Structure 1
């Protein structure tokens, strides 16, 4: 009897062990996932120039990768020359661009593709090859088969110089201290100015810091006419980005003001507990020193910088000591003591519509 009981126990143990192994195998075996079709590039041959540098020159699209787990899938693109996409060090030198969660296409601007092509070593004004693959990540990372682009990069000529903007905003028309609009392209100039409340709105555009030659308004307020006595007119008080094109003889302005924001700028109100975070205080542009400034009464709390009273472009600090603000950083400068402060913000935002905004800017916070 004991013999039969022993055999039965052995058989049960074997059965339980086998069931355990099967369960473990189910839990640890990864289901195969893959790209179900090829990456598409439209177009696949691109010649980059000044004419399309600020436009989308190629759109890459790909199928969704289905993982066994229901969760967002993060996609990225990798760019490399075909010779570096095989072997032990394949794709080690690739340029990687994060696309986002569950995003299945990406358009690339001419200026960005041009930078990548030059960084990867493609010669200027010669058609070369760039391989692109899609990276898909969730519980693991997989890659698509590459698609090959034929890209002809170009060398953008370096432009120098400035024109000047004497006007009523200065309190006196003084071309020697007028705001400068710096060259951002051949014959195209851009800069910033603050029109104080109560000053006049008129101005001229001078190619030198003298009155030997200047532009005034022509057929309309936005037409440049050589040696015209009619002043250009700004829209009103406030801060603006000014662009003047001496090739088309046109100028334009858009509201453009950096401001401080945070709970140190304003206490909560009965209507809005986050009033300081929801309402920026605009700074003024010091065109002589090329710095944004404000003198403000602050309370204990946090301060950040953002553009045009919106969170689209904002900078935050990682600490209170290094004087650096970082693009899209969640941190802030902490004000520990209530009082009146002078705050400055210096940023090299040259032609941001094409070049984007710099990764860092500098600032000062000084208690008066």
Structure 2
């Protein structure tokens, strides 16, 4: 009798293991996953121009992909040339733009799409073909069927010049030392500013380091009016990217802050500690208490744009590098981060940035 009981136990165990393996397989790679329908593009023929650089040129949308595991799906868009999407190196030269978790569309301005076309090598002022597909990632990567569009890129003008932003963020209104916004295209200027606690958010825009010509608010806070005495107003305390368009007489701001992150910082790997922008040295700075651990730099408290170092000696951080600066001793540190990101939407983010982490 005992012999039969042992056999039953063994058989039951095998059935249980077989059932578990089948279930696990269905939950992961044994179950087929695909895009339920085709991706869509807002236009199949696009002529890009510098005059409409900030306008939306292309909207790509796609259906939600259902994986057998209930978790967010991360999507990315890939762009490539027709000749580079087949063979053993298919899609290896593609430009990949990560979109985010459970996001089902992505818009691109003329300026952004023009940079993608230039990076892929499309000739200027000639219609060329770009192939697009969407990547969905969870426990594996799957791809949509590709679509092809025609794009005519333009050649960016080489522009120079600055305008100036005297305001309360300085502690005193001083046009001689005010933030300089750098030209990124004809008549369009961009820069960064931090409004510290206790400092006001108001400012003017001057064409020179003087008061011979300046702009204040017009019909709305975002309208430029020549020689208006009404101040422009930023949203409040914090750091911002400011863009001014003298062609349309409009300005805008978006929250924009580099910060430190890692198990050596107060927020560990989950929450960045924001840095402040020093507009005179064009450097992001912070004084912070650190513990033994790693420190990296990332933008806007997200991992989309981040920099890591390969060692603790050369003071260079690399875009999307998995490394980090290791802090071996707890204490108060002065940290700086300097990056040439004057025009990230048009030129992308640079491959490297410089930083210092010095114990006080």
Which residue does 1:57 correspond to in 2?
Answer: 58
Query: What CA distance in whole angstroms lies between the structure 2 residues aligned with 1:333 and 1:284?
Result: 20
Query: What CA distance in whole angstroms lies between the structure 2 residues aligned with 1:171 and 1:338?
Result: 33
The within-5 A match list for 1:65-104 is 79-80=80-81, 95=94, 97=96
Which residue does 2:182 correspond to in 1?
Answer: 182
Which residue does 2:290 correspond to in 1?
Answer: 298
In structure 2, relative to structure 1, the CA distance for the partners of 1:214 and 1:85 (3 Å cut) is closer
Query: What CA distance in whole angstroms lies between the structure 1 residues aligned with 2:277 and 2:215?
Result: 23
CA deviation vs aligned residue, 1:271-318 (integer Å, no higher than 9, x gap): xxxx43333322111111100011222222221222233444332222
Which residue does 1:343 correspond to in 2?
Answer: 335
The within-5 A match list for 1:142-157 is 149-157=149-157
Which residue does 1:208 correspond to in 2?
Answer: 208
Query: What CA distance in whole angstroms lies between the structure 2 residues aligned with 1:193 and 1:167?
Result: 10
Which residue does 1:256 correspond to in 2?
Answer: 256
SS at match of 1:169: helix
Query: What CA distance in whole angstroms lies between the structure 1 residues aligned with 2:261 and 2:254?
Result: 21
Query: What CA distance in whole angstroms lies between the structure 1 residues aligned with 2:235 and 2:77?
Result: 43
Matched, 1:197 2:197: yes
Task: Judge conservation of contact 1:284–1:293 (CA < 8 Å) in 2.
Answer: yes
Name the larger-Rg structure: 1
SS at match of 1:276: coil
In structure 2, relative to structure 1, the CA distance for the partners of 1:212 and 1:341 (3 Å cut) is same
Which residue does 1:231 correspond to in 2?
Answer: 231
CA deviation vs aligned residue, 1:192-245 (integer Å, no higher than 9, x gap): 111222233332110111111111223333332211223223333322222222
- State the TM-score, normalizing by the size of structure 2: 0.68
Shifted more, 177-186 versus 146-155: the winner is 146-155
In structure 2, relative to structure 1, the CA distance for the partners of 1:210 and 1:49 (3 Å cut) is same
Which residue does 2:355 correspond to in 1?
Answer: 363
Task: Judge conservation of contact 1:80–1:91 (CA < 8 Å) in 2.
Answer: no
SS at match of 1:303: strand
Aligned-pair distance for 1:53? 6.9
Task: Judge conservation of contact 1:316–1:328 (CA < 8 Å) in 2.
Answer: yes
Aligned-pair distance for 1:257? 1.9
Matched, 1:319 2:337: no
Specify every segment of 5 or more residues in structure 2 that has no aligned partner in the other structure, as ranges: 1-33, 66-72, 136-142
Task: Judge conservation of contact 1:80–1:93 (CA < 8 Å) in 2.
Answer: no
Aligned-pair distance for 1:179? 0.4
Task: Judge conservation of contact 1:56–1:107 (CA < 8 Å) in 2.
Answer: no
SS at match of 1:277: coil
In structure 2, relative to structure 1, the CA distance for the partners of 1:208 and 1:301 (3 Å cut) is same
Which residue does 2:274 correspond to in 1?
Answer: 282
Aligned-pair distance for 1:144? 11
Aligned-pair distance for 1:256? 2.0
Which residue does 1:126 correspond to in 2?
Answer: 126
Specify every segment of 5 or more residues in structure 1 that has no aligned partner in the other structure, as ranges: 1-34, 65-71, 136-142, 267-274
Aligned-pair distance for 1:263? 2.6
Query: What CA distance in whole angstroms lies between the structure 1 residues aligned with 2:290 and 2:352?
Result: 24
Query: What CA distance in whole angstroms lies between the structure 2 residues aligned with 1:85 and 1:155?
Result: 26
Aligned-pair distance for 1:163? 0.8
Query: What CA distance in whole angstroms lies between the structure 2 residues aligned with 1:218 and 1:78?
Result: 41
CA RMSD, Structure 1 to Structure 2 (Å): 4.6
Which residue does 1:333 correspond to in 2?
Answer: 325
Aligned length: 319
